[in-house]
Amino acid sequence: MPIPDLLIQYTKLFINNDWHESCSGRKIPVHNPATGELLCEVEEADAEDVDKAVRSARAAFQMGSPWRSMDASERGQLLNRLADLVERDQLLLATLEALDSGKVFLMAFFVDLMATIKTLRYYGGWADKIHGKTIPIDGEYFTYTRHEPIGVCGQIIPWNFPVMMFAWKIAPALCCGNTVVIKPAEQTPLTALHMAALIKEAGFPPGVVNVVAGYGQTAGCAIAHHMDIDKVAFTGSTAVGKLIQKAAGDTNLKRVTLELGGKNPNIVFADCDLEYAVEQAHSGLFFNQGQCCLAGSRVFVEEPIYEEFVRRSVEKARSKVLGSPLEPGVDQGPQIDQKQFDKIMDLIESGKTEGALLQCGGSAWGQQGLFIQPTVFSNVTDDMRIAKEEIFGPVQQIMCFRSVQEVIRRANATHYGLAAGVFTNDIDKALTVSSALQAGMVWVNCYNAMSAQCPFGGFKMSGNGRELGEYALQEYTEVKAVTIKISQKNS
């Protein structure tokens, strides 16, 4: 059960292992989206505060500093110690997450927090296993490579998985020996600030991790443009990702990794296990109120089973229980804020007016809070807005297809390329379709099967670079080749 009447302890900026008020004195109101209630106000960082945090991170990265002098194995121990502290405070963090994001408490506890702990432990294990190679070049030389940390990393995380994204960003960066300035979303800063306290308790040296809550237009913009940040990692919308990439090009060509939007196809063939496919397509869309870049929001169903698939999907959507995310038995909470709520409702209206068949939902729910009924559309065509735009809400589109080649063509006809699903009992079909889909992740007979060990990222306008797994280490290291003249080479 969540902690009742939880006292929010941390509301200031975390810079150089100390708590600071913002230079401007401005604060960010943090609301509970289930009730509209003001939870607290946190200090609002702007460019001046970001600059202070970057100076702290740069000092911590200087040669001879405690962080740069530390054994790689000790960095791993610190990450494991942080995982231990997250485990200790798991109930508190899950309660905070449910309060300011509207996420269902049990999902926060068993999915987000467990993933956070596993990610920290996974990269804790990698810290002393990052190494280069010796290279047998021609001539009397000895050549080797070093995989060195990039430097100061600016990281900007979204509101849909706040504490999990915090771990996804800091863990590989710290594992490789970088220092960090991280900005949580203005809607959901509470778990990031509590994590800052745990980072200090775990024993990380001052300046290694700095947490600055702020708005994208000010603090986020300052991170993207800062001349002393060496790399920026961003998770969020494609539109903002473009601005960050442009900012890097306009300033110091800082390294950039982007995890952006998706309009992910989920392809269901007639030879699948129908009930299982319905269940997976349902959870693949409605998980986290549909606020997930991985959401399988274009469900393509083969013609022979289309009508039955729609019927069962509607039945499942109607069975969802909406309400306070802190209450037991609830499996759908509110949308994050009024802006997102309005965007989703506008797209639902467009589905109705463009001729899709509204099977259920389609309206707001309840007397308070930002709740939207689980919504299912059938008879959706590829030219409709709901089939092209990322909705980021509890709205399922179900489309009909007739052949393998048709569905591959339609699934790839998008600017996005994050994830995809394929449901079939034919292994040849599974291999053919998964190879043809333009997506960074393809799940066969499953959906949202995530793991800290597996790379995460997209093709096309879903971003560049990879998070998680061994592949993420490449995003936080520079390769240096060292060649030494020797008197006698022995091969």
Q: Which residues lie closer than 8 Å to 148 by C-beta, 6 or more apart? A: 177, 477, 478, 479, 480
**Cα 98 from chain centroid?**
17
The string of DSSP codes covering 262-320 is ---EEEE-TTS-HHHHHHHHHHHHHGGGG--TT---EEEEEGGGHHHHHHHHHHHHHT-
pLDDT given at position 491: 78
Q: Which residues lie closer than 8 Å to 328 by C-beta, 6 or more apart? A: 1, 106
Show pLDDT as tens, one digit a residue, over the chain (491 residues). 899 999 999 999 999 999 999 999 999 999 999 999 999 999 999 999 999 999 999 999 999 999 999 999 999 999 999 999 999 999 999 999 999 999 999 999 999 999 999 999 999 999 999 999 999 999 999 999 999 999 999 999 999 999 999 999 999 999 999 999 999 999 999 999 999 999 999 999 999 999 999 999 999 999 999 999 999 999 999 999 999 999 999 999 999 999 999 999 999 999 999 999 999 999 999 999 999 999 999 999 999 999 999 999 999 999 999 999 999 999 999 999 999 999 999 999 999 999 999 999 999 998 889 999 999 999 999 999 999 999 999 999 999 999 999 999 999 999 999 999 999 999 999 999 999 999 999 999 999 999 999 999 999 999 999 999 999 999 999 999 999 999 998 87
- Cα–Cα distance between 95 and 116 in angstroms, integer? 15
| 3-state secondary structure at position 358 | strand
In sequence order, which ranges of 127-225 are alpha helices (DSSP H)? 162-175, 190-202, 221-225
Catalytic residue among 259, 302, 390, 467: 259
pLDDT given at position 489: 87
Read off the DSSP letter of residue 116: H
Q: Cβ distance 157 to 202 under 8 Å?
A: no
Could you tell me whether strands 375-378 and 357-360 are parallel, antiparallel, or unpaired per DSSP bridges? antiparallel
Tokens for 374? Answer: 């689980």
Catalytic residue among 272, 293, 302, 390: 293
- Cα–Cα distance between 404 and 422 in angstroms, integer? 11
pLDDT given at position 367: 87
Tokens for 304? Answer: 């022979």
Tokens for 159? Answer: 């509101």
Q: Phi and psi (nearest 5°) for 103?
A: -70, 140
- Cα–Cα distance between 255 and 148 in angstroms, integer? 14
In one letter, which amino acid is 357?
L
pLDDT given at position 490: 85
Tokens for 139? Answer: 């001539």
- Cα–Cα distance between 278 and 423 in angstroms, integer? 10
Q: Which helix (H) or strand (E) holds 226?
A: none
- Cα–Cα distance between 441 and 57 in angstroms, integer? 34
Adjacent-strand bridge partners of 154: 181, 232
- Write the CA distances from 73 to 126, 448, 470, integer angstroms: 9, 32, 17
Could you tell me whether strands 265-268 and 419-423 are parallel, antiparallel, or unpaired per DSSP bridges? parallel
In one letter, which amino acid is 171?
A
Which residue do the tokens 């709520």 mark?
341
- Cα–Cα distance between 245 and 254 in angstroms, integer? 9
pLDDT given at position 341: 97
Q: Phi and psi (nearest 5°) for 152?
A: -85, 125
Query: Which has the closest alpha carbon to 219: 13, 467, 447?
Result: 13
Query: Which has the closest alpha carbon to 49: 165, 234, 214?
Result: 214
User: Is 259 known to be catalytic?
Assistant: yes
Residue 29: count of CB within 10 angstroms of its CB: 12
Q: Which residues lie closer than 8 Å to 424 by C-beta, 6 or more apart? A: 269, 271, 272, 430, 433, 444, 445
Residue pLDDT, tens place only, 317-339: 999 999 999 999 999 999 999 99
Tokens for 67? Answer: 């962080």
pLDDT given at position 445: 98
Residue pLDDT, tens place only, 51-110: 999 999 999 999 999 999 999 999 999 999 999 999 999 999 999 999 999 999 999 999
Q: Cβ distance 44 to 29 under 8 Å?
A: no
- Cα–Cα distance between 119 and 16 in angstroms, integer? 24
Q: Phi and psi (nearest 5°) for 338?
A: -65, -35
CA atoms within 13 A on the CB side of 35: 12
Query: Which has the closest alpha carbon to 456: 79, 115, 93?
Result: 115
In one letter, which amino acid is 116?
T
Q: What pTM value is reported for the model?
A: 0.96
Q: Which residues lie closer than 8 Å to 128 by C-beta, 6 or more apart? A: 71, 72, 73, 75, 76
Which residue do the tokens 């607290």 mark?
40
